[in-house]
Structure 1
Amino acid sequence: MTPRWMAALFGALLASAASAAPGGNTDVVRDLAGRVGPIVGSALACTDIARPRIQAIVDKFAAVIKEASSNEAERDDLTQQLNRSVADGRNAVTSGKMDCRLAERQLADLERSIAGPASSGPSLAGVIGPSAAVAATSIAPVPTGPAVRGVTDREIRFGIAGPFSGPAKELGRQMKLGIDTAFNRINDAGGVDGRQLRLIAADDGYEPARTLDAMKQLYEKDQVFGFIGNVGTPTAAVAVPYALDRRTLFFGAFTGANILRNDPPDRYVFNYRASYAEETDSVVRYLVKIRRIPLRQIAVFAQQDAYGDAGYAGVAKAFRSMGANDGAIVRLNYKRNTVDVDDAVNQLKTQKPPIKAVVMVAAYRAAAKFIERTRDAYPGMIYTNVSFVGSTSLAEELGLLGPRFATGVIVTQVVPAVSGYSSAVLEYKNALAKYFPGEAPDYVSLEGYVAANVLIQGLKRAGSQFDTERLIDNLEAMRNIDLGLGTSLNFGRSEHQASHKIWGTALDETGKYQPIELE
C-alpha cells in the first residue's frame, strides 16, 4: 500500500472509529493500529525526525483507543497491537528494508491526513470527542521502547569525548569526575523524572585525529542522547560538526573557543563557561592597568593549534580595544601534547625591550616547562594562564620545582575559588567527598559539576516527555538561574553561553591558589 493511500485510509478509519459508539468499533481501530504503527515505528528509528511530530500521532491515536474501548481489557489489547506494529516498523529501518527518506514521507502524509481543513484527507477536527480530547493531553504515551535516542523510562545517557590518556589526561579525568559527581547527587535524589543520568566516556587523547572515532563510538554504539563536557578546542573542531550534523546536543564543553560561540549561536551547542577571548581580555587589562606593564612588553605563549589561536585572538582583541597594533604581538609557540618549548624560550630571549609578562594559552605540563626554563633569566616575569591549563595539575607540576617557580603564577578561572565558601562550592565539595572520597577539589571538576547542574536544570524544565528539540527550547527559556556561584546564569535564543564571569587566582608560596582582583 502506497504512503498516500495509507494516509487516506488512516483518516477514513479515524472517522469511522469515532462515529461508532464506544466499544463498537474495536476491529476498525485494531486495523488502524496495524497500519499506523509501522509508520510510527519507522519514524522512531530515524534520529533526524523530530520526536514531537511522532508523539503527536501517538497521543492522538491513544485518544482514539480510549474512545473506542468499552473496558480496560479492550484498551490493553488495542495498545498491544499498536506496540507490535511499531516494533515492526522500527525493525524495517534497522534491518535495511526501509530507509529514512521513505519514513519521513510516510509520516508527512500521515500528518497531512489528520491536520485539518487545509489537508486533502479527512480532518481529525471533530473526529475525537471531548472526552478523547482530554485524554489526548493526559494519557500516558503508548510504550514503544526508547522513543528518543539515549532515553529510556529508567535512564538518560550522555557521552563525553576527552583525553583519558596522554599528557592532558588529567583534564579529561577531572571533567568527567565533576559531571559524575553532579549526576550521582541528582540520581540519589530520584533522578530527573525518575530517570537516572549516566555518563559514558570515550578517549580521544586530545588528538583531533581520534575524536571522530570517539564521537561515533558514543553516538552509534553507546546510543547517547547528547554530549556533555567534551575537552579541548582542536578536538571540538571535529566533534561540533559531527553533533550538528546529527542535531544532537553538545553541552558544556571544556573550551572557551569561538568555534562554539557563533553569532547567532548554533542551535545544538550550549556553553556554560566564559570564552578564552573574555579570559585573555580580562588578564591583559589587569596587566596594563593594575600591574602597569606596557603592551609592547606582553607576549603570548600558545599551543600551536586552534586552542592557542583562540587565546591569541583574545589578546589581539584586547590590544585593539586599547588602541594598540595587534600585529606587533610576540607569539611563542609549542606543539600540542609535547613539552618542547625550546623554540619559544629562544625566541623570548631575542625580544627587545625584554618581555615582562606572558599570557599563556597552554596545557599544564607545557606551561610548567616554559616557566621552569625562563624563571631564572626573568625573575620578575608575570605568568598568566587561562582556565583550560588545569589549575591543580599546574600547581602540582610547579610545586615539584620549588616555591620560586610557583609563587605569583596567575590563572583566570570560570568558576569561583575552590577554597571559598560560596553555596555552590560547598555543595560541590560535600558531594565530591561523598561520592569520590579522597579526591581533592579541583577547578576543572568544579566546572564539570556546575555545567552538569545547569543541564540538569534544563532537563527538569523539559518534563518527562522530551526530546532534543524540546530540551533546547527549555534551555533557551532559562533566565536568572542561581546556583550559588555569585553570578546569575542565562540562556536565550541568541545567547547560548550561560556565564561571562571571570575570577582571578594566583599561586602563593605554599602552592595554593588565592583570589585576586582583576579590575
Structure 2
Amino acid sequence: MTLRDLKFLNPFQFPSLSFRFRVPNALVASQTAMFFVALCATFSMTGLAWAETGVTAKTILIGQSVSLTGPLASIGTDFSEGFKTYIDEVNRGGGVFGRQLRVVLMDDGYVAQRSLFNTEKMITEDGVFALAGNLGTGNVMAVLPLIADKRVPLFAPFTGADSLHRTPNRYLFTVMASYGNEIEKMVQHLTTTGITSIAVAYQNNPFGKEGLSGVQAAMKDRQLVPVALAPIETDARDAASAAQVIARVRPQAVIVATAGKATIEFVREFKKTGTSAQLLTWSVADTNLLVKQLGKEVDGMIVTQTMPSPFSVKLAVSREYRQLMKSADKDKHVGYASMTGFVSAKALVQALRLAGPDLNREKFISAVESAKAIDLGGFILRFAPEQHHGSSYVESTMIRSGGSQYVY
C-alpha cells in the first residue's frame, strides 16, 4: 500500500487501522507530512471532520426540561412557547451561521428526579450541544453536578435562586435577576412606605425556602423580623391552614414566596379570611394564571418582574416579542413567563453568534464570558469570566381589574 492509496482511505471504515511509517530519509518524511495534510483536508471536504457533540453542518441541538404538566404546568408551557417562538423566527431567517436550531423538549412535571433523568438522557443519548431554560430551583440544583461532569453548558435556566448566584459554576449562565434582588425590591418598597409588619408564606421546598431566607435577610438589614411564617406544600393541600396562620396576626403585608398552584390556593384562601393586607409575590408566580383563576380578587397585588413588560412598546425587545407572538397566533400565552422564554432564546442565539461558525462548547463559554454587554433590544445582559449572571433588573407591577398590569 502506497501513500497514494492511503490518501483515500476512510479511517471510520477501518477503526483498527493504524499508520506506522519508517522514515529513512528527509524526502520520505516530507512526503509523510504532506500525506497527513491531504488526509485531513479530505476528511474535512467529505464531512468527516471531528465536530462538537450536538453540532453538524446544518443543525445545533439544544435540550430543555420544563414543567408541561404538574403544579407549574402553566408557567412551563408559556415559557416554552415564548422560547420556541423566537427559535422558529431565527430558523426562518436561516438559523445561526446556516445551522438550524433544534430543541429537544421534555416534560419533568416539576419533579427534580425527572429533570435529572431528562437532562442525562438529552446529554448522553440525544447528544445535545447545550441545555437551555430548565425550570425550577430544585430541578436545576439536581443537574448541576451532571453538567459539570459532562462539561455541557446550561444557559438561561428559569430560576432566580440565590444559591446559584453564590456558587461559581463554569457551565451555568443566567439571564434573570436573583430572587434576592426581587425580595429586596419588595421589602424596600414596603418599608419606604412605612409598612413594617410583614408576614411570609413560602413554598415548602428549596425554591420557597430560598425566598424565605431572602425576606429574612432583607428585613434583618432593617432591624425587622417577619411577624408570621407559613410553609405551603407544592400541591397546596395546606393552603387554607397557612392562610389562617397568617391572618391571625393581621399583618400589614404578606410576601408570598410560592409559584403555580401554591400561589393560587394561598391567595384564594387568604382572601376568604377578610384580612386587609398588601399581598406581594415574585416573577415566577405566574400572573396570567392568578388573573385567570382569581379575577378581581388579585386586584392591587404587587408582583416583581425580572423581564421587560410584555405589554409595553417602550423597548424594542417587547415590540419584537408582541409582533412574533401575534404572528405565531400565541396571544393566549402572552405574559411574563413567555417573555422570559423569548428573552432566554434571544440571548442564547446571540451567544451562539458570538461563538462564531466554528462552534464548540468551550468557544461558546468563552464568547459569553468575554461579551461584556449583550443588547437584546433595550434589555442588556452583562457577563464576565467571574460573572455568569447577566442581569439584576427588577421592576414592580401591580395587577388591576381587567387583568392588565402597570409599572410604577
TM-score clears 0.5: yes
Give the root-mean-square deviation of aligned CA atoms. 2.7
Counterpart of 1:165, as a letter, is T
Q: Is the 8 A contact 1:357 1:381 kept in 2?
A: yes
Deviates more, 1:430-439 or 1:298-307: 430-439
Residue 342 (structure 1) aligns with: 240
Q: Is the 8 A contact 1:481 1:489 kept in 2?
A: yes
TM-aligned CA deviation for residue 436 of structure 1: 3.8
Residue 159 (structure 1) aligns with: 63
TM-aligned CA deviation for residue 407 of structure 1: 0.7
Residue 85 (structure 2) aligns with: 181
Higher relative contact order (CA 8 A, sep 6+): 2
SS at match of 2:381: coil
Deviations 1:96-117 (A, max 9, x none): xxxxxxxxxx9xxxxxxxxxxx
Distance 1:259 1:128 in 2: 52
Counterpart of 1:336, as a letter, is T
TM-aligned CA deviation for residue 185 of structure 1: 1.1
Residue 85 (structure 1) aligns with: 11
Residue 218 (structure 1) aligns with: 122
Q: Is the 8 A contact 2:133 2:157 kept in 1?
A: yes
Could you state the TM-score of these two structures normalised by the residue count of structure 1? Answer: 0.70
Residue 317 (structure 1) aligns with: 217
SS at match of 2:396: strand
Q: Is the 8 A contact 2:75 2:260 kept in 1?
A: no
Q: Is the 8 A contact 1:506 1:515 kept in 2?
A: yes
**CA distance 1:140–1:368, change in 2 (3 Å):** same
Aligned pairs (5 A) from 1:270-419: 270-289=173-192, 291-294=193-196, 297-324=197-224, 326=225, 330-351=228-249, 354-399=250-295, 403=296, 405-419=297-311
Distance 1:141 1:347 in 2: 70
Q: Percent identity?
A: 27
Counterpart of 1:283, as a letter, is M
Counterpart of 1:152, as a letter, is T
SS at match of 1:261: helix
Q: Which runs of 5+ in 2 are unaligned?
A: 19-28
SS at match of 1:420: coil
Aligned pairs (5 A) from 1:228-247: 228-247=132-151
TM-aligned CA deviation for residue 376 of structure 1: 4.4
TM-aligned CA deviation for residue 220 of structure 1: 2.4
Deviates more, 1:381-390 or 1:145-154: 145-154
Distance 1:270 1:175 in 2: 17
1:499 aligned to 2:395?
no
SS at match of 2:359: coil
Distance 1:141 1:270 in 2: 35
Name segments (4+ residues, structure 1) moved above 6 Å. Answer: none
Q: Is the 8 A contact 1:167 1:337 kept in 2?
A: yes
Q: Which runs of 5+ in 1 are unaligned?
A: 1-25, 32-77, 93-105, 107-123
Counterpart of 1:172, as a letter, is G
TM-aligned CA deviation for residue 346 of structure 1: 2.8
SS at match of 2:202: strand
Aligned pairs (5 A) from 1:130-169: 143-144=47-48, 147-169=51-73
**CA distance 1:338–1:379, change in 2 (3 Å):** closer
Richer in helix (by share)? 1
SS at match of 1:322: coil
SS at match of 1:301: strand
Distance 2:153 2:45 in 1: 24
Deviations 1:124-169 (A, max 9, x none): 9xx979xx8xxx99x9676226722111111111111111112211
Q: Is the 8 A contact 1:163 1:206 kept in 2?
A: yes
**CA distance 1:364–1:437, change in 2 (3 Å):** closer
Counterpart of 2:179, as a letter, is Y
Q: Is the 8 A contact 1:462 1:470 kept in 2?
A: yes
TM-aligned CA deviation for residue 388 of structure 1: 0.9
Q: Is the 8 A contact 1:247 1:268 kept in 2?
A: yes
**CA distance 1:331–1:439, change in 2 (3 Å):** same
Q: Is the 8 A contact 1:287 1:293 kept in 2?
A: yes
TM-aligned CA deviation for residue 449 of structure 1: 0.8
Deviates more, 1:213-222 or 1:488-497: 213-222
Q: 2:370 aligns with which of 477, 480, 504?
A: 477
TM-aligned CA deviation for residue 343 of structure 1: 2.8
**CA distance 1:144–1:281, change in 2 (3 Å):** same
**CA distance 1:436–1:162, change in 2 (3 Å):** same
**CA distance 1:371–1:460, change in 2 (3 Å):** same
**CA distance 1:242–1:337, change in 2 (3 Å):** farther
Could you state the TM-score of these two structures normalised by the residue count of structure 2? Answer: 0.89
Q: How many residues align?
A: 392
Distance 2:146 2:237 in 1: 30
Structure number, greater radius of gyration: 1
Distance 1:170 1:250 in 2: 22
**CA distance 1:254–1:495, change in 2 (3 Å):** same
TM-aligned CA deviation for residue 209 of structure 1: 2.7
Residue 420 (structure 1) aligns with: 312
